[in-house]
Structure 1
């Protein structure tokens, strides 16, 4: 699920399979306004904080993540605590993640943030390390639904830490689109010729599947479409092309399209609404009647990581309530630890559904493992080149 990349997930999003996960300015307690405080040192997972800093001092932790999942607002406290450097490399799609990981592996990266469409593949392909959940001091505070997802479990071991998650919203410029759209079909409306943007990703095929009602009785149908269904989706997406201003690849790119008034409608993540409205625009989001897909981003440790113990320490740190709240502040994505609400404003609590995750869960068809991913990619390439 989303990535500040495209999820530069939701929405970018069952992310962080997920969550989320990926990002907040430090906040005040008690659900009030943010105060800019940093998390206090915690020695629960590593013993004496001074000894831990001496042990890891000078090391680098290399993250391969969706954009925004390594923001200094929450990584700096970790760097200061252990005397280390967090180095992010961003990817714009699940396919780019797979390509970079295959090229570099544990020699290059330590932690990754895959979404639910590829997480299972990474586990089954032995590309990630099991996580010692006994060393995650706040592990039991993470949402139970996210903790129990089977796609990152194998042989009794856990391979993913729930992080961030969210929806693929229909985002619209309310100064141009006066009424809230009720259907994804608004993208095909002739009055919006050249004013639509969709993610440069196979998830557009999922959207067409929802419009066709394929997931009404089986949510997995979107991710296991027949050749005939894929061809139907291709034709529908080709018909959309006259209305498409640009296929966006990062959340930052979509933000610019809206900020510059180049588009009025898009598929996007909560991050875009938050960032663009800070610049004085009037973006709104909705989940159409057909529903919406979404993503769950988990954090995983790369197989053969050269900084395995430090990576485990980072997972322990980021699972705590205040860093999780900072992730949500940066991205506006939902996060896995409900206790993060203590460090969020009331507005951010509402945006992220932190106090009622199950309510938003029920509205989203979260990305699943796509066994025939190559076929989906072939269809998407044909759409763009037709």
Structure 2
């Protein structure tokens, strides 16, 4: 009897200890944010401040759209608490693989977000009445021009003006097709769900790009190549991304990024909650933390891209802030054509057009 009485409380103590240990283990696990994101979007100093203020440990995995989709698809939406896919890579993936959960906007401080970008992201990530993305970092394609041709080249099709013959560069990629279509007075995004209409638009753009071939110094394929062409003056006007134009502007004030009259083409990387996130609370706390203007500005300084945080440009380093403001007033921001999700099959049509433009004499 004595031994039995001695063993009973010992076993009870062991069970209690195990339960307590399990509880602490769960708490420790809950206080971790597993973030899969792009380079520059989670700077070390921002992570350190978040960890200090919240007590939540941030584990950062650097990735890209394809890798994010692959990892989350393989686990059914597990392994990460917060992801940052581009807004046009969410709906199709969600419909096919169900790897995200709807955003609870009651937990998002939307007052810190640019209204036009919030609206664009909600529209682009809506599925069956739910929304799957919050805007985070954005950028555009537009025009990089030397001041000597700035009055001539104000829209994409001006790259075909005889005044800049032999001094032009752009990529043979879908942004060029889309940009030329808008500059020609058409709306390719509204035709996405009408294959015949989209083919008709592409046919007109194809003819224009073939006629324009004589103006093209070279079709650039890499960012370093394009920057070198612009630095040397071999190219005075190009279709390219805003961050590249701002980088060149810091080196040479005579080169600048211009938002085209028909609208810059915009992409937005989002915040999305994986379906099997284990710490949603930490995910929402991170979203609201980094979208504070002063914090968001540090992300811009690290990545070179601006964020959806309203007023964050006030805190960005002066040279980048001034270049941004010269490119984007409120009108230019509101005129950005944000990329919607691409329906299946359209990229094949676009590829065929680009191949024919490349092969044309």
Answer yes or no: is the 8 Å Cα contact 1:169–1:268 preserved in 2. yes
Give the secondary-structure state (helix, strand or coil) at the position aligned to 2:218: strand
The alignment covers a number of residue pairs equal to: 320
Give the secondary-structure state (helix, strand or coil) at the position aligned to 2:144: strand
Give the secondary-structure state (helix, strand or coil) at the position aligned to 2:251: coil
Structure with a larger share of its residues in helix? 2
What are structure 1's unaligned runs of at least 5 residues? 1-50, 91-96
Change (3 A) 1:279 1:357: closer
What CA deviation, in whole Å up to 9, does each residue of 1:15-71 have, x standing for no partner? Answer: xxxxxxxxxxxxxxxxxxxxxxxxxxxxxxxxxxxx9995467875322x4x64345
Q: 1:301 aligns with which of 242, 252, 273?
A: 273
Give the secondary-structure state (helix, strand or coil) at the position aligned to 2:186: coil
Residues 1:379 and 2:353 are matched in the alignment: yes
> Distance between the aligned counterparts of 2:325 and 2:204, measured in 1?
35
Partner of residue 183, structure 2 = 211
CA RMSD of aligned residues (A): 4.0
Change (3 A) 1:320 1:53: farther
Change (3 A) 1:84 1:205: same
Partner of residue 71, structure 2 = 104
> Distance between the aligned counterparts of 2:240 and 2:203, measured in 1?
24
What are structure 2's unaligned runs of at least 5 residues? 1-24
Answer yes or no: is the 8 Å Cα contact 2:135–2:270 preserved in 1. yes
> Distance between the aligned counterparts of 2:91 and 2:140, measured in 1?
20
> Distance between the aligned counterparts of 1:266 and 1:73, measured in 2?
35
Answer yes or no: is the 8 Å Cα contact 1:214–1:222 preserved in 2. no
Deviation of 1:341 (Å) = 5.0
Change (3 A) 1:178 1:167: closer
Q: 1:62 aligns with which of 12, 19, 36?
A: 36
Give the secondary-structure state (helix, strand or coil) at the position aligned to 1:278: helix
> Distance between the aligned counterparts of 1:316 and 1:207, measured in 2?
33
Deviation of 1:171 (Å) = 0.8
Change (3 A) 1:226 1:84: closer
> Whose relative contact order is higher, 1 or 2, with alpha carbons under 8 Å and at least 6 apart?
1
Partner of residue 143, structure 2 = 170
> Distance between the aligned counterparts of 1:283 and 1:223, measured in 2?
38
Q: 1:88 aligns with which of 62, 67, 87?
A: 62
> Distance between the aligned counterparts of 2:228 and 2:276, measured in 1?
38
Answer yes or no: is the 8 Å Cα contact 2:90–2:132 preserved in 1. no
Change (3 A) 1:287 1:132: closer
What CA deviation, in whole Å up to 9, does each residue of 1:312-338 have, x standing for no partner? Answer: 443233222222122333456443222
Q: 2:154 aligns with which of 165, 182, 186?
A: 182
Q: 2:114 aligns with which of 117, 121, 143?
A: 143
Answer yes or no: is the 8 Å Cα contact 2:85–2:271 preserved in 1. yes
Change (3 A) 1:256 1:310: farther
What CA deviation, in whole Å up to 9, does each residue of 1:222-267 have, x standing for no partner? Answer: 78543232223223334444514233455x6544443454532222
Partner of residue 220, structure 1 = 190
What CA deviation, in whole Å up to 9, does each residue of 1:247-295 have, x standing for no partner? Answer: 3455x65444434545322222321122223334631232344444333
Q: TM-score, normalised by structure 1?
A: 0.66
Structure showing greater radius of gyration is 2
